[in-house]
Amino acid sequence: MRSFGAVKRILFLSIALAPCAVLAQPKERKPSRHDAAMVAIIVPSDDPAHARFNPAVHEPRVVVRNAGTDFMDMVLIEYGTEGFPMRRFVHGRRLRPGQQDTVQLPHLIDAAPGLNTFIATVSRPGGRRDRWKEDNTLRSTFTAADALSDRIVLQHRTGPDPAGEEIALTTTRGRVILNRAPGAWAADSTYSDTLVLAEASYVLHFRQGSSSDGLRVLGTDGRVIKQLQGPRGMPVAYQFSVGGSVGVKP
């Protein structure tokens, strides 16, 4: 006679596991009046979607959203690189329900050489307790910006029509180190500037003209450190530090 014992055991296991499947379901999110969300970390980040803004030495940039049903008049943002002190910033722009905003944060970006992790958290939407904390924090992996020696060479070859070409080097505090304004160039010429830089963080801006081969950043040994090149009339930037890790000094 055929036995059905194996079938009975299978049915028993199915019944016993059914409650576990119910318990594993994520809890349903209920709308809350006061709820802030961290949507994205744009700077610093190794995400290819944000490549034009990175690597960076200052001004982290994040996207926050009012995920609540009430207007949000302020939100507290805590941010920093893992292994370094965290900082706080109060974003005071009023956001309607569902609205998001890109926030440029102050301070330099702390970093050790190589890969780092940046953390950004929102809290206190409208000065109230956040009712849903699962979307408050994001992390991004980023590569530290270049740390260069105190002597660099900027080399630039102009095209037949150099009008509009521009080079400017500033510290992240806005002090102008070099400014080659539009109209300062002769056609089909090579320009070279050797700079001795103090310990600080810098932003090099370059606007390219027609037929230009771009701007090269060289070491004193002639090695090419970086080449800046972009569409005609479009500015590009290169951020770097001198004298130690990024974020040590402004």
Alpha-carbon span 240 to 230, nearest angstrom: 19
Q: What is the CATH number of domain 36-144?
A: 2.60.40.10
Q: What is the CATH number of domain 147-242?
A: 2.60.40
Extents of the domains making up the chain: 36-144, 147-242
> What is the full per-residue pLDDT of the chain (250 aa) written as tens digits?
444 444 444 433 343 444 443 444 555 667 789 999 999 999 999 999 999 999 999 999 999 999 999 999 999 999 999 999 999 999 999 999 999 999 999 999 999 999 999 999 999 999 999 989 999 999 999 999 999 999 999 999 887 878 788 999 999 999 999 998 877 788 888 899 999 999 999 999 998 876 667 899 999 889 999 999 877 767 899 999 998 644 443 3
pTM: 0.81
Q: How far is CA 40 from CA 26, 50, 97, 111, 139, in A?
A: 23, 10, 18, 19, 9
R_g (Cα) of the chain, nearest Å: 26
Assess whether the region 36-144 and the region 147-242 belong to the same CATH fold: yes
User: What 3-state class would DSSP assign to 240?
Assistant: strand
- Enter the tokens of residue 201: 């963080």
